[in-house]
Amino acid sequence: MAADIADESLSKWDVAKNGIVNAGLAAVGMVPGLGLASRSGKWLTTIAKWAPRLLTLQAIKDLPESYNSL
What does each C-alpha distance from 49 to 5, 33, 35, 36, 57 come to in angstroms? 30, 27, 21, 20, 14
Q: Within this chain, do residues 27 and 39 fall inside the same structural domain, yes or no?
A: no
In order of 30, 32, 38, 52, 69, the CA distances from 48 in angstroms are 26, 27, 15, 7, 31
Q: Domain count for the chain, please give it.
A: 2
- The pTM score is 0.42
Q: Letter for the amino acid at 49? A: K
Residue 58 binned pLDDT confidence (cut-offs 50, 70, 90)? confident
Q: What is the mean pLDDT of residues 11-21?
A: 87
Cβ(56)–Cβ(62) below 8 Å:
no
**Do both 23 and 42 map to the same domain?**
no
69 sits in which H/E element: helix 35-69
Which range marks the domain in which residue 20 is found?
Answer: 1-31
Does the pLDDT of residue 4 top 60, yes or no?
yes
